Amino acid sequence: MEDVTLIGIDLGKYNFHLHGQDRHGKALLRKKFSRRQLIDFLANFPACTIVMEACAGAHWMARELAGFGHEAKLISPQFVRPFVKSNKNDFIDAEAICEAACRPAMRFVTPKTEAQQCLSALHRIRESLVHDRVKARNQIHAFLLEFGISLPTGHPSIRRLPALLAEQALPPRLVSVLKKLHLHFKYLEEQIADIEKELGRQLQEDDLGQRLMTIPGIGPITASVLSAEMGDGKQYGCGRDFAASIGLVPRQYSTGGKVKLLGISKRGDKTLRRLLVQGARSYMQRLDRHTDRLAQWVRAMLMRRHANVVACALANKLARTAWAIAAKHTEFEKQEAVTHL
């Protein structure tokens, strides 16, 4: 076992399949373990490189293995799939992970810390609650519209629903349903507010999150998502790599020496991409308040391109700026616009 230099683990909920090989690629290990057996086995195994797919439980497992002295690496599942041999089973998947990890140009996923995973969990819960709040609001609007009552858009009209129901002659059963929906809406608003307060408290303790908030268009929600998903940014070679990883660069379909660029690729984390685009639109709406070089660049772009294109381009620039702040441990500094005489 001392000759094993690389181990691939096919993660499961209860069972884990291992494939180990030496530095020449010769298979030396092929075992199946339960979770407890796997931890005990690797705790006493000589230090080596252990590779897994970046899936549920992978980040926790990577931290555990790093504590045993192993070098833990994570690979995106889409990069492992091409190395799976004809018939698929768990041992073949583990072997494919080893094969993918041996590629010199392979890109790996940086394991998240506990704090990053907690932030990510809070954001997922908040997103789910926001989705449920929109659903409850739309149902209230739809039920009232069936009886000829059209409410204004926005949350304030829903908050005044009890007063509206007292003024309208509606069937008692419908009133009962609407009151239950209103209570559910209020509960969701309270839960979202509590989560946002918790995110704010965690952000105050996060040095990176505080520095990211110095970027125009980046608020607490976007800053905390960036802090949780990007980390120190060292897994990306440059800002363009980070922008490409979240789908904010043109999709390319070039052949025969002819370069053909399409719309943005929309790869990676769609929530982070959406937040950055929303932040860019927010900055563009208040463009008249800014006179720095970034505002000058946006104004020049708006003269030549559609606002939607400019929003994506600005989101790309914000993503690159966020990576530079994380990787180089700096803060955003406004640069005054250059005036030509």
In the prediction, which pLDDT does 114 show?
86
186 located within any domain: yes
- Whether residues 12 and 91 share a domain: the answer is yes
List the domain range (segments joined by +) for residue 244. 239-328
Instruction: Count the domains in the chain.
Output: 3
Question: pLDDT tens across 164-215, in order?
Answer: 888 878 888 988 998 999 999 999 999 999 999 988 888 888 888 888 888 8
In the prediction, which pLDDT does 17 show?
92
- The packing angle between helices 114-145 and 58-67, to 10°, is 170
Question: Dihedral sign, CA of 255, 258, 263, 264?
Answer: positive
Among 233-242, 306-315, 328-337, top mean pLDDT goes to 306-315
61 located within any domain: yes
Cβ contact 236:242 at 8 Å: yes
- Whether residues 28 and 71 share a domain: the answer is yes
- Does position 340 have pLDDT exceeding 60, yes or no? no
- Does position 341 have pLDDT exceeding 50, yes or no? no
